[in-house]
């Protein structure tokens, strides 16, 4: 057979029986049948015997040659021209027989497109191969359609088995030409069921009464896809079969939740459950949940539950569990145990916490004890130790109870009562100037709770003997030192606490203050005592000293009193007062000067009446000096004067009216050392 022209536009996919089989290209059993003659062709490796074999075994043709002219390959086309055309189909025969095309036939395995096909062939001298042929110079001269293989359904699919809710139905695909790959789609009332593409399908409860069918899709490479749908079958309802009796789970005790075990009780498993719990056979009102918690009302009763179940498409079923043993009292369990909030301390409340229990509405009672003895009236949630209980052991007995439950008692020891601490012990402050002789005051602030306070003053960190009051006056011993005051608070049942102020500045020297300017009392006359009034109080240990002055000249007189002497006549006197004390700066003040020291004048006048005239003889004396100056006589508007000589003078007043015991004013004018003086003299003028 001339093959070169036929193969010029083709590519080999495999060659030889074994290599083609390994590559997945079948020879359809021809390797073992090639020595048999089909349609009276030459047996062995030649194209006509292989194609005849395939038409008989694959396309189902008779083993008798269809026409006598079908012999040599080049004659197949003209002999079968009535079924030969230019259109390739799977199962047709590719024919090369025109003078320019060669002498060959091959079996068309697959039509990829109108211009590309796959063929299998047995070639004289070359055994067996598969080729891909593209339209061109080597394209077949024609395609002979002896009996093309078509993909078709020869017997419809069926839905097998019992068609009912919950039971798997099985699809039988029916019969198909060739051997296609099959897929399935289940239909309810003619509509595809999502994801229902398996060989079996279990109708859900919602499918009860609907029509079930299956559509089978057949596919084979090179052939159009075909489908076939089974006859529809009505889905019957399923059945809930009670397999076992449900059981109550859990321990029957007050407050403990019971459940019900329905696993394996029904087949299939119900979707809807209804419950009714009973105590001693009597339904418990409102107890229709999957669980039930007995309370005190069910104490001693036996518990059961009646169930009514259903599943869509399966109807209903019911069952009642066996009764439990009698319900026993519940057990109160603590998720957190009772406790006390703190160790006992005077005046600070201890709280007894009940803890957290499995039941929220428990009743808690308390009894506080001191050294094991009940404290009368102490039954509250808190207890506040007193000072008298320092060192005693405080405990609380808590009883937790609830109807239907076993009572629980817990004894909690808080501990021994300790001393309390002051919650507020402020630092004291010192007010006032740190100066010798001036009072300083300690302000302790507000202690909490109130305390009995004592004070201790210190100088340069050393306690000052006797300085234990809220005020302190620094003395000479503290001059130059810094002061602090420590305040100690005490209260029964509390730890004493001492708080010290900040340091003051160094204590300065004190200053002595005069109440007023010092002054002199008494008369500034020779022989008359003058007294200095100092107007100052000196601190303890201090003194006041005096120095008398005549004008600006200091005198030797240093006493508080001084008696002027004749040497003081005509001068003013003053006294300087000095106050001094240890730790103080000395203070000095001088009094105002006295009046000029003068001696009192003693005026003696002897008057003699005359005719319309009177003569007066003056004698003026003074202690410590001989008076000088003038004397005068006055009568009405008349006056005459005269100078003293050695303390004496004579004056004559004339041209005066006569009269008995007429009053004349006589006077001495005084000088710098003698006081003036005057008096009346009566003289009868003739």
pLDDT in tens, 552-579: 999 999 999 999 999 999 999 999 999 9
Count CA within 13 A, CB hemisphere, residue 590.
Answer: 14
pLDDT value, residue 389: 95
Confidence class for position 240, pLDDT limits 50, 70, 90: confident
Kindly report the average pLDDT of the chain as a whole number: 93
Confidence class for position 3, pLDDT limits 50, 70, 90: very low
For residues 663-686, average pLDDT: 95
Does 15 sit behind a cis peptide bond, omega within 30 degrees of 0 on the bond before it? no
pLDDT value, residue 6: 39
Answer whether 0.75 is exceeded by the pTM. Answer: no
For residues 354-372, average pLDDT: 93
102 and 1 in contact (C-beta within 8 Å)?
Answer: yes
Phi then psi for residue 524, to 5 deg, are -85, 75
Tell me which of 109-123, 164-178, 183-197, 478-492 is least confident: 164-178
pLDDT value, residue 101: 59
Q: Which two tokens stand for residue 315?
A: 């109807």
pLDDT value, residue 177: 78
pLDDT value, residue 220: 80
Q: Per DSSP, what are the bridge partners of residue 599?
A: 674
pLDDT value, residue 76: 95
Q: Per DSSP, what are the bridge partners of residue 607?
A: 616
Q: Is the pLDDT of residue 4 over 90?
A: no
| Residue given tokens 């005693």 in the structure block | 392
* Sequence-separated (6 or more) residues with CB below 8 Å from residue 232: 159, 187, 190, 211, 212, 213
Q: Is the pLDDT of residue 7 over 50?
A: no
CA dist., res. 132 & res. 413, Å (int): 100
pLDDT value, residue 222: 64
Q: Per DSSP, what are the bridge partners of residue 418?
A: 345
Q: What is the pLDDT of residues 378-391, one digit of tens each?
A: 999 999 999 999 99
CA distances from 458 to 15, 169, 421, 502, 630 (A): 124, 110, 25, 11, 74
| Residue given tokens 């009868």 in the structure block | 684
CA distances from 3 to 8, 13, 54, 96, 118 (A): 9, 16, 20, 9, 16
359 compared with 549, residue with greater pLDDT:
549
Confidence class for position 31, pLDDT limits 50, 70, 90: very high
* Sequence-separated (6 or more) residues with CB below 8 Å from residue 597: 524, 525, 526, 564, 568, 569, 570, 571, 572, 573, 673
Q: Buried b vs exposed e over 65-92: b needs ≥16 C-beta within 10 Å?
A: ebeeebbebbbbbebbeebbeeebbbbb
pLDDT value, residue 132: 95
| Residue given tokens 């300085």 in the structure block | 467
CA dist., res. 485 & res. 244, Å (int): 93
Q: Is the pLDDT of residue 498 over 60?
A: yes
Q: What is the pLDDT of residues 633-660, one digit of tens each?
A: 999 999 999 999 999 999 999 999 999 9
Confidence class for position 661, pLDDT limits 50, 70, 90: very high
Element (DSSP H or E) covering residue 18: helix 17-22
CA distances from 7 to 11, 74, 115, 119, 140 (A): 8, 16, 15, 11, 10
Q: Is the pLDDT of residue 189 over 60?
A: yes
**Rama region for 603: left / alpha / beta (φ>0; ψ in -120 to 50; rest):** beta
List own/partner pairs for 155-159 with CB under 8 A and 24 or more apart: 156/228, 156/229, 156/230, 156/231, 157/214, 157/215, 157/216, 157/228, 157/229, 157/230, 158/230, 158/231, 159/212, 159/213, 159/214, 159/230, 159/231, 159/232, 159/233
Q: What is the pLDDT of residues 430-457, one digit of tens each?
A: 999 999 999 999 999 999 999 999 999 9
Q: Is the pLDDT of residue 104 over 70?
A: yes
Element (DSSP H or E) covering residue 123: strand 116-123
- Percent of the chain whose pLDDT exceeds 90: 84
pLDDT value, residue 653: 94
For residues 152-166, average pLDDT: 88
């Amino acid at each position: 057979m001339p093959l070169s022209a036929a193969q010029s536009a083709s590519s080999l996919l495999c060659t030889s029986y074994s290599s083609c089989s390994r590559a997945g290209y079948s020879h359809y059993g021809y390797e073992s049948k090639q020595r048999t003659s089909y349609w009276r062709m030459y047996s062995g490796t030649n194209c006509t015997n292989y194609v005849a074999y395939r038409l008989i075994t694959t396309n189902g043709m008779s083993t008798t040659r269809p026409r006598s002219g079908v012999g040599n390959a080049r004659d197949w086309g003209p002999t079968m021209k009535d079924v030969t055309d230019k259109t390739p189909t799977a199962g047709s025969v590719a024919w090369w027989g025109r003078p320019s095309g060669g002498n060959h036939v091959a079996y068309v395995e697959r039509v990829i497109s109108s211009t590309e096909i796959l063929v299998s062939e047995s070639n004289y001298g070359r055994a067996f191969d598969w080729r891909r042929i593209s339209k061109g110079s080597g394209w077949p001269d024609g395609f002979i359609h002896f009996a093309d293989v078509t993909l078709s359904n020869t017997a419809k699919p069926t839905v097998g088995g019992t068609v009912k809710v919950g039971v798997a139905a099985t699809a039988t695909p029916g019969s198909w030409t060739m051997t296609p790959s099959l897929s399935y789609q289940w239909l309810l009332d003619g509509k595809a069921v999502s994801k229902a593409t398996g060989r079996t399908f279990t109708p859900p409860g919602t499918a009860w009464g609907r029509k079930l069918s299956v559509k089978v899709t057949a596919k084979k490479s090179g052939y159009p896809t075909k489908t076939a749908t089974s006859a529809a079958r009505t889905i019957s309802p399923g059945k809930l079969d009670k397999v076992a009796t449900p059981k109550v789970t859990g321990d029957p005790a007050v407050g403990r939740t019971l459940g019900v075990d329905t696993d394996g009780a029904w087949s299939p498993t119900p979707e809807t459950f209804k419950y009714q719990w009973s105590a001693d056979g009597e339904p418990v009102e409102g107890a229709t949940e999957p669980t039930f918690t007995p309370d005190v009302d069910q104490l001693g009763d036996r518990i059961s539950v009646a169930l009514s179940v259903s599943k869509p498409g399966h109807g209903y079923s019911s069952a009642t569990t066996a009764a439990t043993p009698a319900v026993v009292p519940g057990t109160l369990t603590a998720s957190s145990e009772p406790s006390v909030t703190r160790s006992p301390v005077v005046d600070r409340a201890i709280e007894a916490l009940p803890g957290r229990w499995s039941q929220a509405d428990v009743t808690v009672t308390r009894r506080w004890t001191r050294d094991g003895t009940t404290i009368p009236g102490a039954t509250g949630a808190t207890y506040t130790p007193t000072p008298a209980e320092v060192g005693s052991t405080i405990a609380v007995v808590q009883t937790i109870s609830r109807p239907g439950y076993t009572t629980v008692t817990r004894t909690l020891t808080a501990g021994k009562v300790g001393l309390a601490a002051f919650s507020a012990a402020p630092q004291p402050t010192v007010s006032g100037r740190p100066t010798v002789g001036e009072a300083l005051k300690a302000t302790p602030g507000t202690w909490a709770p109130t305390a009995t306070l004592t004070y201790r003053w210190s100088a340069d960190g050393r306690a000052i003997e006797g300085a234990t009051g809220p005020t302190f006056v620094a003395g000479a011993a503290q001059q130059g030192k810094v002061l602090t005051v420590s305040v100690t608070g005490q209260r029964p049942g509390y730890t004493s606490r001492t708080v010290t102020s900040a340091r003051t500045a160094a204590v300065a020297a004190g200053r002595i203050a005069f109440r007023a300017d010092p002054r002199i009392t008494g008369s500034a006359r020779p022989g008359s005592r003058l007294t200095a009034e100092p107007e100052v109080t000196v601190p303890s240990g201090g003194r006041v000293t005096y120095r008398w002055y005549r004008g600006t000249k200091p005198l030797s007189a240093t006493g508080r009193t001084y008696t002027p002497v004749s040497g003081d006549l005509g001068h003013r006197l003053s006294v300087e007062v000095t106050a001094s004390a240890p730790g103080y700066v000395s203070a000095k003040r001088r009094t105002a000067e006295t009046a000029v020291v003068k001696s009192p004048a003693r005026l003696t006048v002897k008057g003699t009446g005359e005719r319309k005239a009177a003569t007066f003889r003056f004698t003026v004396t003074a202690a410590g000096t001989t008076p000088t100056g003038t004397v005068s006589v006055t009568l009405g508007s008349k006056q005459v004067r005269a100078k003293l000589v050695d303390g004496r003078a004579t004056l004559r007043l004339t041209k005066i009216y006569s009269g008995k015991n007429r009053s004349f004013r006589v006077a001495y004018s005084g000088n710098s050392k003698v006081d003036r003086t005057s008096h009346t003299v009566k003289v009868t003028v003739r």
